[in-house]
Structure formats: structure tokens, C-alpha cells
Amino acid sequence: MPIQQPEKQRSLDSSMPIFPTLNTLDMNALELLRTQFRYPFPTLKNPYADQLQEITDQQWIDGEYLWLYELAPGIREKYKKTKTAHIASQWFPTASFERLRPLGRLMLWTLYNDDLYEESNPERIDYVQEQSIAVLTGEISAGETEIPLGQMLATLRAELRQFIPQESIIRFANMIHRYFSGLKRELMYKKNKTFPTVAECIALREDSICLYPFLQLTEVETGIVLPPEIHSHPVILRLQALACHLVTYFNEVQSAAKDEATDSIYYNIVKVIQHQYKISLEEAFLEDLRLHNEDLKEFITLQATLPDFGIWQDAVVNWVHYMSMVLSGWKNISTRLDRYNTIEFPSASELKDQLHQKQFNKGKK
């Protein structure tokens, strides 16, 4: 029997969306992502993906950052299976190897950071945020901070400075600041075991999905640094927000099982939809898809009707083109990764224990 929203419930809130129907036996999250989340954009992949993945596995996870999980080879193996270099290669398909390298390091940092602080107190995030931004902007050195990933961020800064000016670094750091602000809001909902509204959840996930920092770094790939007036243009800001929404809508279907396992349902848009409208998980998936398709339509429209940016027109068109390939690239790579499609991720308790140990053994590194 098809699932239908009871008429009595619909009448309680006239703003409640009318949900599509489907047979629950046909519902499969991965199949839904592969067949219904569609992007009319090219899908390219950087040819240096395997080379960078080898560096990620051998020189970073089992090398520079071995001390993080030295006594937990199983956790290190899970990070290797996440194939962060391949994700970066989908998002930055035309970067040279030298320019792809810091982008791959950033990708690994986002996973490390997310997982390290998934069980943290919201108050702790303020300190980590402040110290991380200070390292990235060059205000303090790695040796002056006590956060576990301080040296990783200092190395990232040094690599990025080879290709982009300090002004771009500051804009990038501001987006990392925005990510931490979203992460803190997530942890507050998790701590209090309360749900935001759907609108509130979309807003916080726009920040915490941590796509904004990567969108700033297209200039590392292309070698073209756009002026501030373009970065602050309303259409460009909206396109970036839409890109963040679209990746999030996709991610929420993909991460529903993981978020249930880690008690992170309070900021998964699918679970928030389910909670707010008192509907089944399958119907929540479809409402998430509807929201996704609305934003995708707006993105395509804005991309096709960009304002006149004068001498920067070609560069802006190209930037938005690269933005669109992040969407198709994320679908292409993430539907093949265990981290997002099985319960193949470091457990919160494992990570919390490791972080606790390293905070008291900082002298190792």
C-alpha cells in the first residue's frame, strides 16, 4: 500500500508540505541517491587521485598524523577507506598535483576535526575555533596552540600561501570559522536532545557541512584570484549557499543510519523533517528530495543568467562551472564510499578516548 499523510495531520498545519507517495518495499536510500538526485553537470576526476591517496595513507595517516591514532590501527584503516584524496580529486579535477596536495590535506582535516569533536561540549568548540583560525591566518604558530590538529593547519596554511594571497587565506579562514559555528550549534542541539525547525536545520547545516571553505579554494586550482566585490555579490553568495544546501540534502539521506547510530539525529535534515511533520522516514527522504530539487532548479537558473561581471565575466562563469562539478563529483564518489553507505566509520567512543589521551600526551608531537 502506498504511504499517505493522514488528512487529520495535514489539517493541523496548513504550511505542511504534501508528501509524495511510494511503496516502502521499494525504498532504499542508496538507490534513491543514485537514481533521483540528478545533476546536469559534468563529472570529472583529477588524474592524480591515486598518487595523492598513496601520500594520504602512507605519509599522512600512517606518518605525520600517526600519533593521533597510533594505538588504533582500525581507525586509521577506516580513514584510508574514506578515500579523501579521491573526494578532493572530484572537487578539483583540473588542479596540478602541487595544487591538489593542500586540498587533499584540507579534506583529511575536515574528517579528523569532525570526528574528534563529535562528542565534545559546545563550549569547547569556541577555543578550538579561535585557535584554528589564529593558526590559519598566521596570528600564532602551531607551537603556540594546544589543539591536536594545530600543526596540520599550520602546514595547510604554508601550502596554500604558495598559491593564494593573505587576503584569500583570511576569506578561507572566515569560512572555517563559519564551519565551527555550525558545528557548535549542532552540538548544542545534541547536548540538549532537542530538534531545530527544518528551516533552522538547513541554516546550520549550510555552515557545518564545511563546503564553504572548499568553494573559496577554486582559485588554488585555477590560479585566478577574484576581487572582493565578486565574492560579496548577492548572486555569488546565493550560488554558494545553494551548493551547500544541495550537498547537505544529498548527505542527509546518505548519513541517516550513521546519525542514528551516533545520536546525531537532531541536526540531520531528514530526521528533523520526520520529527517536525510526524511522518515516516521514507516520506522524510522524499521531502528532502523535493527541497533538493527546488534548490537545484534555482542554482541552474542563476548559473544560466549570471549578471555582467565585466572583465571578470569568464572567470566567474568558470568558477560557477567548477562549483557545479562539486555537486556531481560528490554524488559520483560518495555513493561508493563505506563511510557514507555502511556503518564503516570510527565510533564516537573510540574517537573520544583517543582525543582524551592525546590532550594529555601532547608532548609526543
pLDDT on residue 108 = 98
Does 155 map to a domain? yes
Q: What's the structural domain count of the chain?
A: 1
pLDDT on residue 263 = 86
Does 16 map to a domain? no
pLDDT on residue 76 = 96
What is the domain-level CATH number for residue 308? 1.10.600.10
Domain containing 201 equals: 46-334
Does 136 map to a domain? yes
pLDDT on residue 364 = 38
pLDDT on residue 261 = 83
> Which ranges of the chain have pLDDT less than 70?
1-27, 338-365
pLDDT on residue 342 = 52
- Between CA 285 and CA 269 the distance in angstroms is 9
Does 259 map to a domain? yes
- Between CA 312 and CA 93 the distance in angstroms is 22
Helices assigned H by DSSP within 82-197: 84-91, 97-116, 122-137, 150-160, 166-192
- Between CA 20 and CA 115 the distance in angstroms is 35
pLDDT on residue 357 = 54
Does 347 map to a domain? no
What global pTM score does this model have? 0.88
Residue 257's nearest CA partner among 168, 179, 339 is: 339
